[in-house]
Amino acid sequence: MSLSKPPPPPPSTSHLAIPPASTPSPSSSATSPSSTPHSAAPPPPSPVKISMQEHFAINVCPGPILPIPQISDFFPRFHDYPCTPPPPREKKILKEETFNGETGGGFKDGERRGENDGDREEVFDSDDDDTYLGTLEFNLLFDQENNCLHCTIHKAKGLKAMDSNGLADPYVKLHLLPGASKANKLRTKTLKNTLNPVWNETLVYHGITGADMTTKTLRLCVCDMDRLGRNEFIGEVRVALKKLKEGENKRYNMGLERIAQNKETNNQLVEQGAVVAEEERGRILVSLCYNTEKGCLLVGIIRCAHLAAMDSNGYSDPFVKIILQPDMGKKSKYKTSVKKKTLNPEFNEEFSYEVTLDQLAKKTLEISVWDYDLGMSNDFIGGVELGINASGQRLKHWFECLKNKGKKVEYWHTLTQQGAPSSDKPD
C-alpha cells in the first residue's frame, strides 16, 4: 500500500484567502472554520543570501561624497566678531550637518574643496592686524638732566593666541635702534596664560643724550615665552624718539605690527681687525669733585651703559681702571669691582687722589673699561681721557671740576679705543 502526499496548496499573493465562487457544501462548511487559518498563512520567507563584496558595498557610496574637513574647521581663528558663512551655491546642496555645526555646508559631486578656500583665506589675511596681534599701551619720558629715558609699559589688549590652550605667556622686549642688540635690550616680566596682560612696569635707559633722541628709534616687541621651545614673536611697534619733547610724559596706544625682521647694520659681525664704531664701545658716567678741605680729587665711577659684548655668550664681565697721569706710583692706579655678565653695570664707587689744585690742572685722568677673563688676559672694551689736552665734552667736564671746587660734576662720556693706557698691563 502506497501513501501519497496531498498536493500543496496553491500559492497566494495575499495574506487574505479569497473564497471560491461556488457555494460551499454543508460538509465543507462545517470544517472550514478550523482549516481556514492554516491554509491562508503564507510560507516563511527564506533568508536573503548576498556575497561578501555586496555586503561591504552597501554603505560605501550612499550618495555624493562629502568634502574632507580642513584643520581650520576644528580650530577657527579668534575673532571679535562672528565670521560670515559662505554664500549658498546655485545647484542643490546637501542638507547635512557639517563639522561647524551649520547646515547646507556640503558640496555637490565633482566639486573640489579648494575652489572656495581662496576667498576664505583672503578674508582672514586682509583683516586689520590689530584684530589678531593686539595693541600695546605705554608711556615715554625723556629726562635730559639725568640723561635717562623712562619707558613705562602699562598693558596690552587682544593679543594673538600663541599656545594650544588659546592663550599666551607675553612679555615686552625693548631695543634702541640702531645699536647692539644685547647692549640696549630691556625686558619686562612674563605674565602667564593671558591675552590682556597688565605690567605697569618702568624700564630705564641710562646715558641717553639729546643727540640720541634725534637719531634713535625705540622698538617694543611683544613675544610669547615658550619653555619647551623658542620664544615666539607676536608683534612690535616703533617710535621715533625725535618726536618726543624734553620733559614730556607722552602716552601711546599703538597697534602691533609684523615688521620684517631685518638685521641692523650695527648688529652684524665685525670682521677681525676692523675699526668698531664709538657708539658700540659704550658709555660711562663719571663724577669729579675737588675737595679743597682735604686737598684731593674725588673720582666717582657711577655706571656704564651699552657696553660692547666681549664674551661668546653675548655679554661681558666689566670693571673700570683709572690712572692719573703723569704716573704717581701705586697711589695713582685704582680699579673697581667686577660685574658679571652684564653690558649695563652699576658700580657707584669713589676714589681719592691727594693732589694740589695747581698740579691737577696739568694732569690727565685716564679711565678705561675692561672685560675680565679668568686665566687669560683681560679684553679692552673702551676708554676716555679727561684733562687739559682733551676736547669737547671731556674738556668741559675737566674745566667745570676745576672751576666749581667742592661741587660734584657728573657727565656721560663715550668710550673710544684711543683711551687704552699704553703702559698698562693686564691683571
Contact indicator for 261, 398 with CB cutoff of 8 Å: no
Q: Residue 26's pLDDT band (boundaries 50, 70, 90)?
A: very low
CA distance linking residue 303 with residue 371, whole number of Å: 15
Res. 60 pLDDT band, cuts 50 70 90: low
Per-residue pLDDT band for 141 (boundaries 50, 70, 90) equals very high
Three-state secondary structure call for residue 408: coil
Question: Which pLDDT does position 187 carry in this prediction?
Answer: 92
What confidence score (pLDDT) does residue 203 get? 94
Q: How confident is the model at residue 251 (pLDDT cuts 50, 70, 90)?
A: very high
Q: Are the beta carbons of 295 and 314 closer than 8 angstroms?
A: no
pLDDT at 227: 80
Q: In 218-307, which ranges are continuous DSSP H helix?
A: 278-281
Structure-block grid coordinates of residue 325: 697721569
Common-topology check for domains 134-260 and 283-414: yes
- Residue 51: the pLDDT is 72
Enter the C-alpha cell of residue 138: 605705554
- Helix residue spans in 23-91 (DSSP H): 26-40, 52-56, 71-74
Q: What is the mean pLDDT of residues 319-328?
A: 87
Q: Mind listing the pLDDT tens digit for each residue in 93-110?
A: 434 433 344 444 444 444
The residue ranking higher by pLDDT, 157 or 1, is 157
**Is the pLDDT score of 348 beyond 90?**
yes
pLDDT of residue 194: 93
Q: How far apart are CA 415 and CA 14, in angstroms?
A: 112
What is the pTM for the complete model shown?
0.54
| Cell representation of residue 416 | 673710544
Nearest-angstrom CA–CA distance, 206 and 148: 5
Per-residue confidence (pLDDT) for residue 75, from 0 to 100: 57
Please identify which residue in the block is written with the cell numbers 694732569: 363
Q: Does residue 153 register a pLDDT over 90?
A: yes
SS (H, E, C) 114-125: HHHHHHHHHHHH
**CA–CA separation, 247 vs 285, rounded Å?**
21
At 53 the pLDDT is 66
Check residue 230 and give its pLDDT: 83
- Residue 288: what residue type? L
Three-state DSSP at 320 gives strand
Count of Cβ atoms closer than 10 Å to residue 159 Cβ = 24
Torsion over CA: 178, 183, 189, 194 (sign):
positive
CATH code for the part of the protein at 283-414: 2.60.40.150
Q: Decide: residue 116, CB within 10 A, 0-12 exposed, 13-18 middle, 19+ buried.
A: middle
Strand pairing report for 409-414 and 283-291: antiparallel
Q: 8's torsion region: left (phi>0), alpha (psi -120 to 50) or beta? A: beta
Contact in structure between 204 and 151 (CB atoms under 8 Å): yes
- How high is the mean pLDDT of the chain? 74
163 versus 349: the higher-pLDDT residue is: 349
- Between 128 and 252, name the one with better pLDDT: 252
- Residues 6 or more apart from 79 whose CB is under 8 A from it? 131
| Domain extents in the chain | 134-260, 283-414
Q: What is the pLDDT of residue 313?
A: 81
Mean pLDDT of 412-425: 70
Query: What percent of the chain is predicted at pLDDT more than 90?
Result: 36
In three-state secondary structure terms, 212 is helix
CATH of domain 134-260: 2.60.40.150
Task: Return the SS3 of 176.
Answer: strand
The more confidently predicted of residues 110 and 186 is: 186
Taking the alpha carbons at both ends of the chain, their separation in whole angstroms is 138
Highest-confidence segment of 29-43, 44-58, 126-140, 385-399: 385-399
Q: Which of 10-19, 215-224, 287-296, 409-418 has the lowest mean pLDDT?
A: 10-19
- State the pLDDT confidence band at 331, using cuts at 50, 70 and 90: confident
Most distant pair of Cα atoms in the chain: their distance: 163
Instruction: List the one residue out of 220, 187, 217 whose CA is nearest residue 204.
Output: 187
Asked if residue 426 has pLDDT above 50, the reply is no
DSSP result, 339-358: --S-SS-EEEEEEEEE--HH
Mean pLDDT value of segment 395-400: 93
Highest mean pLDDT among 18-32, 94-108, 256-270, 395-409: 395-409
Whole-number pLDDT of residue 64: 57
CA atoms of 384 and 414, how far apart (whole Å): 7
Query: Could you give the CA distance from residue 28 to residue 332 in angstroms, rounded to a whole number?
Result: 148
Position with higher pLDDT, 167 vs 122: 167
Q: Is the dihedral of CA 61, 62, 65, 66 positive or negative?
A: negative
